[in-house]
Amino acid sequence: MPPPTPPPAARSTPPPPSRAVYDLTGRSAFVTGAAGGIGRACAVLLAAAGADVHCADTDEKGLRETQRLITGADGAARAHVHVLDVTDRDQVRAAVASAGAVDILAAVAGIMHTSSVLETSDEDLDRVLAVNFKGVLYACQEVARSMIERDAPGSLITMASGAVDSSGPGLLCYSVAKAAVVQLTKTLATELGPHAIRVNTVAPGWIRTPMTARHDAGQRQRVEATMARLSPLGRVGEPEDVAHTVLHLASDASAFMTGQILRPNGGVAMPW
């Protein structure tokens, strides 16, 4: 009789998830747009996970409030303030250099402008692309160069929008800029992967922030009611909902993810 067939070799499996994978102690994060909204929520949560956080924005007053929220009464958590314009490559380069060894980038800074396609001016398009695309590009370039020079792995996280899946009236500049961010993310992921640098993007749905409040003008209650009704979860999004997605991408829990689009949107596609 032939010898019995040996059982198949056991497959190695990743360890079960644990809270430890979200521990960022000893790591440094650089967050743009950190003076409020999603950027502030990201900075605060990354700090709560143990990261040393560098907060960047044009709004110094808002940055100081973010710093206060991070450090708390005992000052145990560390937050650093960088007042800068993300559209100025030299300012971004200087800030990243002064931050030292950055392990995590959350490029959140962005603006929203509304105009019909036929009324969109060169100034409108240039300004939105400068902040929402070039600002992300500059931050990614400078942080990635630093990681490569140090031969250090890292995570770059960009901020896209649900508008990349379904744009709407008046959102030409915003949607085009955010679509460019998605393609930047995918391209960077292919180029930086050999350096153990992961690059992913977050495309939130409608989130309750100062920016969306300005965009919605006097229609905020109506918009929130509509979005809550369309979501299977029955509510609108908060900045912290996006920040938890950013934390996942910053942490070892997403060690095998790159070039991806994560969509914290409550199950709602933009309804137009």
Q: Active-site residue numbers?
A: 174
Give the number of other CB atoms < 10 A from CB of residue 238.
14
Nearest one of 104, 124, 14 to 53, comparing CA atoms: 104
Taken as a whole, the chain contains a residue count of: 272
Which secondary-structure segment (H or E) carries 201? strand 197-202
Distance between CA atoms of 54 and 118, rounded to whole angstroms? 40
C-alpha distances in Å from residue 213, one per residue of 147, 207, 218, 223, 239: 37, 9, 8, 10, 13
45 in Cβ contact with 243 (< 8 Å): yes
Considering Cα of 161, then 167, then 173, then 178, what sign does the dihedral take? positive
198 in Cβ contact with 189 (< 8 Å): yes
221 in Cβ contact with 266 (< 8 Å): no
201 in Cβ contact with 101 (< 8 Å): no
C-alpha distances in Å from residue 52, one per residue of 99, 169, 236, 264: 10, 40, 30, 25
Structure tokens of 119?
């009324």
